[in-house]
Structure 1
Amino acid sequence: MTESRDGQPAHGAPASAPPPRLEGTISAHFARFLAGEVRKAGGDPGKVARLPDLRTDVLDDDLSRVPTSSAIAMWSYMVSRNSAQTRDGALLLTTPPPGSFGLWDYMLTSGPTLMDSIRCTARHMGVLADPAVENLEGVEDGALFTISYSSGPYEADVSAAQEVFALAVLLRRCREATGAPLVPVRVELRQKAPRSRAALLQLFGTSHVDFASSATSLTFLAQDARRPLPKAQHGLLEMLCEHAIMTMGAARPVRDWYDVFRLTLNASFELDSLSLETVAQQMAMSPRTLQRRLAERCSTWRGEVENARQEKALALLQDGRLPMTSIAGRVGYSDVRALRRAVRRWQTRPTEPSGAGTDQT
């Protein structure tokens, strides 16, 4: 939890822990923005994410929560479409105007001071992002005030684009809040230094950009972060923080994590990328966490894969339009004989509950 200089809880209403059901999800505001960027890049968000959770009716509902795996799929698509830009360190996405992220934006710009606003926003990061993997922190250390951001263990190019974008949004909001052309004393990025740094130096307005750092952060002079904000209204930040708690309590995940897992698992067959590590990464969790969650359902990775393979193979066989060799390849069997043995095995026993088995590796 973010603390003030004297170790007391940060300014604003006390933050309760985000509901566990929101873990693995992002807000409709953020999902809407990403979907719009995918369209600008020439893609279809629903097909990119391979999950039917990016329909217009879902994205238009501010209380909807979209699986983080869909967000990562959209990020991956945009990075792949802009690989040359990403290698050069250029900002991948446009920086959204004020209000694009709803309540989160207003908390960040409505406190008595920038420090107060950052601390409140950090404590309620779940109102916008995945509370299980994304974290914001504001720490005052002598003459400096540092805003640190961290996200999930994604692919290096996705993490690099995501972190630059996060700092760009934070810097723009800090400038909007203070009404001044605020310049960071230092910028730290975890990514390796790109071939050209010009775009990033221009973006942050400083030559003090460090790469391969242990954290992603913006550092300002503490005196700038403590100045009263010109648009501050007494009691507004406390009210917004309380509203954030109520918003997270009323939020509606599009589906639970197991539904996301089943859809991600089935998509992995199509992409020929079936592995525990790949599926866990697409769901923005570690392989060990995925195994633990399956165990809580009396299920295993091996059992889930076997049942998904059976369902897909039998559906393709019943359809009758593909030869046996193609079906075997699509469901992960080495040859037709292995598929036939599996079919005979399935026919001699009833279908097991999803996840039956003991091997979790």
Structure 2
Amino acid sequence: MVSHAHQGTTSSALTRLNLNAARALGIPPHGYAHLLGLAPEHLNDDLCRPPASTSIRIAELATVHAPWTEVAGLLAQQSAIGSLGVWDYLITSAPTPLDGIQDAAVYLTAVVDTGTDTLQVTEDGDLITVSHINKADLAHEAACAVRACALGLYLQRLSHAAQRRLVPVRVTLAAETPRRHDALIALYGTRAIEFEAPVSSLTFLAPDLKAPNPHAQPGLSAVLRRHAEQTLATAIPLHNWLDLFRTALAAAPQEAAPTLSDVARRMAISTRSLQRRLDEHGTTWSGEVETLRRARIVELLHHTDLGIDAIAARSGYADARALRRAVHRWYGTTPAALRRTGPAPAHASARTRSWS
């Protein structure tokens, strides 16, 4: 499942994983605190998808402070089952580990930028190979760490699904041969690691991945797939500063008109700087506020039974008359007529907060 809207972004869960590793390594915050998507309202919101460049920069900083083999091991240690959200449970709750990793490949977008990362599962007789292809523009050491960590995450979750430690018969890494790789031996449970390979992969005996999961529940995988789809449909990609501004604006209380000073304070910049940045992005404060109001009004008309007075109050208008004038200006009709046209398409209403 690939969405162009999500390309260039990763899940906030993955960003938190990278940030936790940076803190564990003692990297000074001034090296990364300014990066897009690290504000608490974005980082702690599982609907937000920070820029992939933020995780890339943190990974690069990490490999300056420690060997890439240790960074890979630390990232894997920081990622407990469930820390990557529904994607984890697609693997651990499937009928077999193979079913789970195949679902994980389909919904990889739920975690990473599938514009640069791909998960492939291939069967060849009695062997099954799980491959991770990473083409992100990272510094060399950081790329090695990311590729090694990805395999570690897959192995952890497959082992959790099987309820026993799975040991691959072979590991290949598209990474340079390190001086020491004790951390990788511990991560994969084997010394059969081949470096400088074309693709990073784990190869298992087919019976290991085809055996029934001890705790699988019939029908649960279908529920989790639907949940993953819904999560992606409602996700808010934060590609740039303007996306961050719009999430801050949308977070303002709906019962009152948002103010420039409140949003500037939320974003930790001056009102003058905020207006200047909006101008640089070809938009204005008043235009953004009107777009937000318009989206909220359409959402309330199509998805609630609230009266026009209540909708006016919730969207920052003085009264129903002001709301009717606004709706007529936008659509050339009345709120009641607009409501009768029925709800907007699901993909449109899901993006009320991001205008993407």
TM-score of Structure 1 vs Structure 2, range by shorter chain: 0.5 to 0.7
Quote the Cα distance in structure 1 between the aligned partners of 2:239 and 2:26.
27
1:86 is matched with 68
Please name the residue that 1:74 is paired with: 58
Please show how residues 130-149 of structure 1 align to structure 2 within 5 Å: 130-149=113-132
- Say yes or no: does 1:104 pair with 2:84: no
Tell me the secondary structure at the aligned position of residue 22 of structure 1.
coil
Structure 1 residues 94 and 113, CA, compared in 2 at 3 Å: closer, same or farther? closer
Displacement of 1:94: 4.5
Kept in 1, the 8 Å contact 2:12–2:46? The answer is: yes
SS of residue matched to 2:75? coil
2:188 paired residue number: 204
Change (3 A) 1:182 1:90: same
Q: 2:14 aligns with which of 25, 30, 33?
A: 30
Q: What does residue range 206-245 of structure 1 map to in structure 2 within 5 Å? A: 206-245=190-229
- 1:44-96 CA-to-partner distances (Å, cap 9, x unmatched) read 557416424201111111100000011111101111111xx337897343422
Alignment partner, residue 307 of structure 2: none
- 1:189 is displaced (CA, Å) by 0.3
Partner of 2:212, secondary structure, is coil
Counterpart of 2:238 in structure 1 is 254
Q: For 1:118-157, list aligned pairs within 5 A.
A: 118-151=101-134, 152-157=136-141
1:239 CA drift (Å): 1.5
1:258 Cα deviation after fit: 8.1
Which has the bigger relative contact order, CA under 8 A and spacing at least 6? 1
Q: Give the counterpart letter for 2:97 in structure 1.
A: L
The alignment covers a number of residue pairs equal to 244
Q: Distance in 1 between matches of 2:164 and 2:26?
A: 36
In 2: Cα distance, 1:102 partner to 1:90 partner: 20
Q: CA deviation at 1:99?
A: 0.7
Q: Hey, what does 1:193 align to over in structure 2?
A: 177
Q: Summarize the Cα distance change of 1:120–1:46 in structure 2 as closer, same or farther, 3 Å threshold.
A: farther
Q: Map 1:60-71 onto structure 2 (within 5 A).
A: 60-71=44-55
CA distance in 1, matches of 2:229, 2:10: 15
| Equivalent-residue separation in structure 1 for 2:71 and 2:108 (angstroms) | 26
The 5 Å alignment of 1:274-285 reads none
The answer as to whether partners of 1:64 and 1:253 remain within 8 angstroms in 2 is yes
- Given that 1:185 and 1:208 are in contact with CA atoms closer than 8 Å, whether structure 2 keeps it comes out as yes
Maintained 8 Å contact 2:27/2:65: no
Q: Aligned with 1:54: secondary structure? A: coil
Distance 1:90 1:68 in 2: 18
Shift of 1:34: 1.3
Change (3 A) 1:165 1:90: closer
Distance of aligned partners of 1:80 and 1:244 in 2 relative to their CA distance in 1, 3 Å threshold: same
Q: 1:133 to 1:88 in 2, by over 3 A?
A: closer
Q: Secondary structure at the match of 2:5?
A: helix
For the aligned residue pairs, the C-alpha RMSD in angstroms reads: 2.3
Name the CA distance, whole Å, in 2 between partners of 1:214 and 1:258: 38
Distance 1:257 1:125, change over 3 A: farther
TM-score by length of 1: 0.63
Name stretches of at least 5 consecutive residues in structure 1 with no aligned partner: 1-14, 261-307, 312-361
